[in-house]
Amino acid sequence: LSDFDKNLRKLWENQGGVSAMKQAAEIDRVRFQLGQSDRMKEAIFLSGRYLPMMEEIFKNAGLPIQLTRLVFVESSFNVLARSKVGASGLWQIMPSAARGRLKVNKVVDLRNHPQKATELAAKMLKFNFEMLGSWPLAVTGYNHGPYGVKRLVERNKTRELGELIETGEGRRFGFASRNFYASFLAALEVESKAGTYFPGIKQDIPFQFTHLQTKSPIFFKDLVEAFNGDRTLAQLYNPHLQRSAYRNLVPLDSKSYLVVPVEKKDEIHKTLENTLA
């Protein structure tokens, strides 16, 4: 150990009759995950595509725009993110949260539409705040569920998140939920000082998109052709389409929310002039 580390250890060696340093290093007290630095750098780059749109939606909803940084925790701005428990999209919205709010059928899953999902996330966070009365609780409720957090508050008679975390609720208030707000604060800190943590880092340019209105049904392969044969790009702009649509098993119509870059709208209209309104 360096002299600094030795002095630090000595300061904490016998606090309250226990070795605080040894206790803090016990196997069940230490948790880490490799690769987070690289993942965060990639997420900061990708965030440039969506943050301007997200900030505008949250600002119009009267919400702090900093809340849009929750996406760093949820999906790292991977628009194709899918969870094994059923959460989906940039905001990792569960099927139960989308029910009755976002269209999900054999053609589209609007949980994966960046704009539509952001609009729903804003409504969910606003509801959480109105119910729970503080942003630490509202953000925690995004992961744990607002009613679950409300029960914790009522059962423990405290609205302080730190005190709720110390209650030892076990599986009902698990590791992810207990640490969700802290993870959000960490992501907010790193993103706001990205130039310090990652010198020279850049963000991608914002996606400027518009929706196409089809005069008659088309298939995904037709949309790919309109993207100059770039299937990956067509999927990147249309992550809300279901697998059956990508496989050309179901047609796409005006209710499919087809998305194209603004700057390519005229070109795509020309390519699909026989099927677009």
End-to-end CA separation in angstroms for the chain: 72
Q: DSSP letter for 216, please.
A: S
What integer pLDDT is reported at residue 167 of this predicted model? Answer: 82
pLDDT range class, residue 15, cuts 50, 70, 90: low
User: What tens digit of pLDDT does each residue of 147-181 get?
Assistant: 999 999 999 999 999 999 988 666 678 889 999 99
What are the phi and psi torsion angles at 186 (to 5°)?
A: -65, -45
Is residue 113 within 8 Å of residue 257, measured between CB atoms?
yes
Tell whether the model's pLDDT for residue 99 goes beyond 80: yes
What integer pLDDT is reported at residue 20 of this predicted model? Answer: 73
**Shortest CA distance to 214 belongs to which of 143, 135, 162, 271?**
271
Mean pLDDT of the chain: 91
What integer pLDDT is reported at residue 73 of this predicted model? Answer: 97
Structure tokens at 166: 């110390």
What integer pLDDT is reported at residue 275 of this predicted model? Answer: 60
- Higher pLDDT: 8 or 179? It is 179
- Higher pLDDT: 53 or 271? It is 53
Torsion 244-114-178-63 (CA) sign: negative
Spatial separation of the C-alpha atoms in residues 63 and 44, rounded to whole Å: 21
Spatial separation of the C-alpha atoms in residues 152 and 25, rounded to whole Å: 29
Q: How many residues does the chain have?
A: 277
Tell whether the model's pLDDT for residue 17 goes beyond 70: no
pLDDT range class, residue 29, cuts 50, 70, 90: confident
Q: Where do we find the tokens 């206790």?
A: 23
